[in-house]
Structure 1
């Protein structure tokens, strides 16, 4: 009888373990469904340091980190009211063009066009911030990106110093020089190497992550927001989603639903949230941390008179 009793005891023990595992898995699934914003992608952005002493971006670096590409101009641009227009398809259908054009200064990024989209994004450009990877796309269409600007507009290039720095000898820098000599009514600057390091340090300070060790690339949005804070007293951002937007949207998304384009001017481009989450969760290779950056922007909004529209947050 002894072995038979032991067998029943072991069987009961296995049943108890199975029930415990089943209950644990059920709880995890329920918890995940209620916290979809954090379960869709690994929480890279959870490292954002909320306890740090706020960085005063008004005095963080000054304007001495902008090097004129041609001549000896200085970066002196200052505006009371700025409209910062993103490249997101959230601007489409906004009919915000007139409002944007009425702002004292209008800021755009990379090769985001105005031609054909004026009713939603306006047609004025006071400042355009361009990544080294977008230089060729901009200069191939000078009539659109360099003629269609305010008089005395400013163009700022950012990228690795060995590509766009003053001491660079490559094709890219020579191209930037040639363009700046052709359009002398515009002011062309590149971001100096020491200021590029400050942008990296700022990311580390604001997120708790070392950019290089965490395999992160700073986005043009990061550079543009910091530059806008330096030069603007008040900023209204058009088309930027809040940091928790993609988690909420994907939790409710139905098969076949319309995607929101990453770039409003590229109808065959990727879905914005898909791009954000893939980059946020990427660990191998270098990735933009769009969601992490937006957590930082959300904190900066309270310090620097930043408001967001289309969508509002």
Structure 2
């Protein structure tokens, strides 16, 4: 009997030892995770120690604000343009290059979150000082709209390059899904291309000599509203013309112009347009003399594309394996005129201007602004006066999906990954606030409305 009790006591003691070891092991693991979360003295990197909330009933949007509201996963609702948190962030330059350990944080999976995770540093961005100087009195930087001014960051970092990424930056950006960060990506896979991205040697745009100091830009989308618009001469009269995606120009010059100064694209856009739009006369991406190309790093396929592009080789892996990227730029590829948008810039646009309600659902990870939206905001940060043509307007149902669909009328397809109505409403609000000039047809049957300067 005594022997049985002793055996039982021994089993209890052994179990206790095992349990104690497990507790110590768990504590050690937690310490490592927490340590990865503390990446800088200047920023509260508590995301991994206090995991971002991804459950709850709060909606990300509230209709009370002029431009829509965000309601975070914790705390009071905050306006997209006027939140106190954002105002505080406006005064803070993100110091994201503090010395830290040389180990990448554990890879986060998008599947771990039921909706968009909200980190403590969600609204902290890389900033460039000083902001772009302008002598233009009409500049968007001088907008009198108070809510827009509080949201707009004239010194947001626009482009990423090889000197801009260290381990601290990698770990910070690894909290955000693509194209807003590196969530789910492996360090070695991405850095193979990132370490090749050159630092821009010049600003994207310059003030035209002999002018009034204002940089005037046209941003041309592909919406059917341009079909029959006869806006080509007006578009080409701007200092610079931005286009994106399947920018079909040949044969449509009277409606959309024939100049392209900046072409914004993804690997998908520049490759698929060649096959999908061939029947409309599309033969290549715009390749005007001296054109500047801007890449949106949408996912791993884009990083593989960039590696092949910069090396002058075939793509080594992924969807575009064995394709020759340089063949897609019509002989105009030049490293000094090629730019890659920074993930902070892309996330800033989503967070402050285009926070879709779908981000509060399980589909959150595929939701992002359109390439057209990214292009329009790039223009707002590099130009003084911006006019938008071929963007969705309130009467979009009157027109075909694309301006190059002349013989057939197709309806706009609302894909889950973009919030087209949210964008449409924003363009209208920016136009009414005199921040952009949005081309709108006065009458789909009798003619067009000529845009007048504000």
User: Which whole-Å deviations, capped at 9, do the CAs of 1:211-238 have from their partners, x for residues lacking one?
Assistant: 6444323211211111111111001111
Matched, 1:77 2:217: no
Q: Partner residue of 1:305?
A: 435
Q: Is the 8 A contact 1:204 1:211 kept in 2?
A: no
Q: Is the 8 A contact 2:80 2:351 kept in 1?
A: no
The alignment of Structure 1 onto Structure 2 pairs a total of residues equal to 243
Equivalent residues in 2 for 1:72-151 (5 A)?
73-74=200-201, 76-78=203-205, 80-138=215-273, 144-147=284-287, 149=288, 151=289
User: Which whole-Å deviations, capped at 9, do the CAs of 1:96-124 have from their partners, x for residues lacking one?
Assistant: 11111111101111112110001111100
Pick closer, same or farther for the CA change 1:92–1:241 going to 2, 3 Å: same
Q: Is the 8 A contact 1:83 1:106 kept in 2?
A: yes
Q: Is the 8 A contact 2:224 2:390 kept in 1?
A: yes
Matched, 1:190 2:340: yes
Equivalent residues in 2 for 1:172-191 (5 A)?
172=320, 175-177=324-326, 179=328, 182-184=331-333, 187-191=337-341
Q: 2: CA distance between counterparts of 1:62 and 1:191?
A: 9
Equivalent residues in 2 for 1:153-168 (5 A)?
153-165=291-303, 166=306
Q: Is the 8 A contact 1:164 1:172 kept in 2?
A: no
Q: 1: CA distance between counterparts of 2:251 and 2:329?
A: 26
- Greater helix share, structure number: 1
Equivalent residues in 2 for 1:223-242 (5 A)?
223-242=374-393
CA drift of 1:210 comes to 6.8
Matched, 1:200 2:347: yes
Pick closer, same or farther for the CA change 1:208–1:85 going to 2, 3 Å: closer
Q: Is the 8 A contact 1:105 1:125 kept in 2?
A: yes
Pick closer, same or farther for the CA change 1:175–1:261 going to 2, 3 Å: farther
- Structure 2 gaps of 5+ residues are 1-60, 70-78, 83-149, 163-193, 208-214, 309-315, 442-448
- RMSD of Structure 2 on Structure 1 (CA): 3.7
Q: Partner residue of 1:245?
A: 395
CA drift of 1:75 comes to 5.7
Q: Is the 8 A contact 2:161 2:198 kept in 1?
A: no
Q: Partner residue of 2:401?
A: 262
Give TM-score, length-normalised by structure 1.
Answer: 0.64
Q: 1: CA distance between counterparts of 2:241 and 2:354?
A: 28
Q: 2: CA distance between counterparts of 1:51 and 1:145?
A: 35
CA drift of 1:136 comes to 0.8
CA drift of 1:133 comes to 2.4
Q: 1: CA distance between counterparts of 2:232 and 2:400?
A: 19
CA drift of 1:287 comes to 2.8
User: Which whole-Å deviations, capped at 9, do the CAs of 1:68-87 have from their partners, x for residues lacking one?
Assistant: 97765446122500111110
Pick closer, same or farther for the CA change 1:126–1:93 going to 2, 3 Å: same
Q: Partner residue of 1:219?
A: 370
- Structure 1 gaps of 5+ residues are 1-43, 250-258, 280-285
Q: Is the 8 A contact 1:70 1:181 kept in 2?
A: no
Q: Which moved more, 1:290-299 or 1:96-105?
A: 290-299
Q: Partner residue of 1:4?
A: none
Pick closer, same or farther for the CA change 1:271–1:180 going to 2, 3 Å: closer
CA drift of 1:51 comes to 6.5
CA drift of 1:295 comes to 2.4
Q: 2: CA distance between counterparts of 1:270 and 1:98?
A: 26
User: Which whole-Å deviations, capped at 9, do the CAs of 1:153-180 have from their partners, x for residues lacking one?
Assistant: 1121224231212568535486435546
Q: 2: CA distance between counterparts of 1:241 and 1:211?
A: 19
User: Which whole-Å deviations, capped at 9, do the CAs of 1:181-238 have from their partners, x for residues lacking one?
Assistant: 943458233334x33xx42343233345476444323211211111111111001111
- Greater strand share, structure number: 1
